[in-house]
Amino acid sequence: MMRPGVSFSLPVTVVVSIITFVYCCTVFVFIHRWFGLMTSPGMINALVYTGISIMCVFNYAAAIFADPGLVPSTYMPDIEHSKVFIHEIKRKGGDLRYCQKCSHFKPPRAHHCRICKRCILRMDHHCVWINNCVGHANYKAFFVFVVYAVIACFYSLVLLVGSLNSDSRIDEQQRDSFRIIYVVSGLFLLPLSVALSVLLGWHIYLILQNKTTIEYHEGVRALCLAEKGGTVYQHPYDLRAYENLSSALGPNIFCWICPTTGHIGDGLHFQTSYDTIPAASK
């Protein structure tokens, strides 16, 4: 479902401009100078890089335009349901979590975004670079976009270095113009590769723990409080590693690099490590 109120965003425009610039430099300068676009290696590299770029842009658009997940106004926590082991409560007072601004109860893992001005299901964070929250319905698209962006950046860097070592014969004027392109491309690609790799590593860690960014920081506080109280804190949504991966990316491993969302459920209920308690006690 497309989110309402999509408007112009300068950060998104900057990202799209960088993607376009890097793609044009990679295909029409790096690949062309190293292999030649009309040669078999040149065409193969151009097609592969174009495919990666298309997937990158497609997932980026999906993360931008998809509604991250809106809490239904009619949502009510089912506190009497015997199979529900967890009801998230306020840290102060112990009451069920209620959003005064949206005037409804918050489902597990939902949080109010002060920028979007609404509660987001399984909210991870608000990302200025997609002008949208990263939440229940668009988290996978965001993650897969980062995966393809990292691959594209490193692929482009390899082609940049390779084309620099090529022995293309060009005149001095062309050499100066290419030098500018290489310097500007390098200034974009090097920090982008590092930053996106760190971001990818961070979200791989979160997925393996079945946590959001918000839950990670909340877990740090809960762990400190548990240690002071002499108890052990365990993240309730942390299943085994493969189950955590499947809950975020889907049960079919061949679809993990595609922005499919048929596996995510309604965003109001999530499997927890306590769901196996009745079966284990029998």
What pLDDT digit, counting tens, does each position of 153-202 carry? 999 999 999 998 875 555 555 666 788 899 999 999 999 999 999 999 99
Strand 98-99 vs strand 132-134: parallel, antiparallel, or unpaired? unpaired
CB 137 within 8 A of CB 68: yes
Rounded distance between C-alpha atoms, residue 139 and residue 109, angstroms: 13
- Let me know if residue 273 belongs to a domain: no
- Let me know if residue 229 belongs to a domain: yes
DSSP state letters, 70-130: BPPTT----TT-TT-----B-TTT-PBPEETTTTEEPPTT-EEETTTTEEETT--EEETTT
Q: Which residues pair with 112 in a beta bridge?
A: 119
Residue 226 has pLDDT above 90, yes or no: no
What are the distances in angstroms from CA 2 to CA 110, 113, 114, 115, 256? Answer: 19, 18, 20, 18, 22
- Let me know if residue 247 belongs to a domain: yes
Q: Is 127 a catalytic residue?
A: yes
Cα 45 from chain centroid (whole Å)? 26
- Let me know if residue 270 belongs to a domain: no
CB 47 within 8 A of CB 23: no
Residue 256 has pLDDT above 80, yes or no: yes
Rounded distance between C-alpha atoms, residue 27 and residue 25, angstroms: 6
- Let me know if residue 23 belongs to a domain: yes
Residue 248 has pLDDT above 70, yes or no: yes
Catalytic residue from among 99, 102, 113, 127 = 127
| pLDDT mean across residues, the chain | 86
H or E segment to which residue 126 belongs: strand 125-127
- Let me know if residue 78 belongs to a domain: yes
CB 85 within 8 A of CB 272: yes
Choose among 103, 140, 95, 143: nearest CA to 119: 103
Rounded distance between C-alpha atoms, residue 70 and residue 240, angstroms: 28
- Let me know if residue 162 belongs to a domain: yes
Domain tally, the chain: 1
Rounded distance between C-alpha atoms, residue 119 and residue 109, angstroms: 10
Q: Where are the alpha helices (DSSP H) in the chain?
A: 10-25, 32-34, 40-65, 139-164, 172-209, 213-229, 241-249, 277-281
Which pLDDT value is given to residue 8?
84
**Two tokens at 98?**
């209620």
Please count the other Cβ atoms lying within 10 Å of the Cβ belonging to residue 228. Answer: 8
Please tell me which of 23-27, 34-38, 256-260 the model is most confident about, judged by mean pLDDT: 23-27
- Let me know if residue 281 belongs to a domain: no
The residue range of the domain holding 222 is: 10-255
